[in-house]
Chain A
Amino acid sequence: MEPESPAFPVPKIEVKNFSAFYGKTQALHNVDFTIYERKITAMIGPSGCGKSTFLRSLNRMNDFFLDFRVEGSATLDGEEIYGPAVNPVLIRQRVGMVFQKPNPFQKSIFENVAYGLRIQGVKSRSVLSDIVEKSLKAAALWDEVKDRLNGSAFSLSGGQQQRLCIARALAVEPEVILLDEPASALDPISTARIEELMQDLKDRYTIAIVTHNMQQAARVSDRTAFFLDGTLVEVNDTTKIFTNPEDPRTEDYITGRFG
């Protein structure tokens, strides 16, 4: 894999005319939107605007709501995410996710990171150790936990737990990482570390992040999408969105006039 981003952005996930429903309630209205490879795309918008629904639609995490359904097209490398023959488990192996609240398993630090590999059938202890170390290093947690890999994941602080969750997601070598407000439950120092980490990861992964925090979106992302009432109002380069938005609603939002 090349360390540098290509000159022209390559589409990773393409969404066309995409709508999502919980029963009779329509949560997303005809979204058209592309997430580019090895870029950080931020999604902002007021609560209930559909940004989280959108994010969770990308690795089919909404399938667990019994009456959830989608219309339109969402593709990963040109392949329909919601295609009839597609197994959501395979999609999720390629598109990892980190959640708002740190959610480690009731297991050791080591086993948390090894979990995804274990369920995929990796048994060799040396391979597991190798990948666990690499993932923890990539998540900038290695130095803090290397002496207590067998300790409970719950013995870590909240910020460490969230980085553990990131390491856990990295261990299965996803192509895309979805971050659903990953720092909203953390203190500023932990948040800063997560943001730094995203910059490091950007070279190797495609990242999509939902955030409430507009400064965070401005700081970390290459592109930003603004959602409002289930529609995608505007998507553009982050600098453009924050300095010269095209839609007045975007401007109202980022200048704090509502939301």
Chain B
Amino acid sequence: MNFVKRSFGLAAALAVVSVLSGVGSANATDLTISGSTMLFPLEQVWANAYMKSHPGVHISVASTGSGFGISNAANGNITIGASDAYLTKDLRKRYESLASIPVAFDDTQVIYNIPGIGKSKLIRMDGPVLARIFMGKIRFWDDKAIRAINPSVKFPHQRIKVIHRADASGTTFVFTDYLSQTSKEWYDEIGRDLSPSWPVGSGYNGSDAVVAAVMATPGAIGYVGLGWINEYHLSSMALKNLDGYYVVGSVKTIRNAGKAALHDPTFPDDFNRSIVWNLHGKDVYPDANFEFWMVSTSLPAATMLEVKKMIIWALTKGQHEKYTVKTGFAPLPFAPLKPRLNKILNRLLPGNSLKIESGG
């Protein structure tokens, strides 16, 4: 079992190193980051900026999927694994050495293609109805349940065509997490996963393909992250949050969600929970999530020092909008994050002087 995994990881790591190794000098520090395809664009701009300001450090970035990000980071094949999902109980047990560091905000938004309904019209949606749509139990756009939350919208009698991701995806994880938290049916029958067993619909590889399929298919409903909403100027549904407000996802409402989570004293210090749904507030979007870097606590001390420097840079200077918003993420709110992050950093390399002091 491990033979194949290790060789896969090794191959991925080797590929990355060989692509970029021409740039670094012989005694440079080499950091390899790989995993989440979603986080990949942000990591690329970070790596470029960081290498410019830190000569002697060499960073290779690869996009291999969150699954490989997690397992390779745990095996020590790479220095930093990127993941869209937090470590669930199962995974925490399997990969005990991993610490998750939130590095940016993302969300999942629901997009649609309903004939006769223009972009300017706001469609509202709540978790239970959305879950029933994605389970194939609500089959037409003019279903009672949909009309009940949108009394002012005239829906056509059109089949709903569910469109989801086919590949394992953090976007899917966040989306199904929202459904799991708001719908018992969904939680019982399907649950949250990067690649759940979809009861209906059709699947597409990557968010671009989901956008394309939704745009091309009359009656379609699908979901993508903030970056795609901005890039393709899509309109998304307003989702109902815990306090009953319908909120459209945006940099601002996602940050609000993050702040609400971090101010919540029950939110775990090791970030082993998503930040959907269970948050109060008027402008709090209910389907946001952290993007994570996974670092193994068993890295050698020298490497760990460099990793910590890099993490601190990413969490401070790296949160500038020219990096985060440009690549489809919302910057982390600094103040409420600081104490928790310092705890995590201390876990990675105890008793050191590197701490997060100020925002970027």
Touch A–B, Cβ below 8 Å: no
Q: Which residues of chain A have a CB within 8 Å of any CB of chain B?
A: none
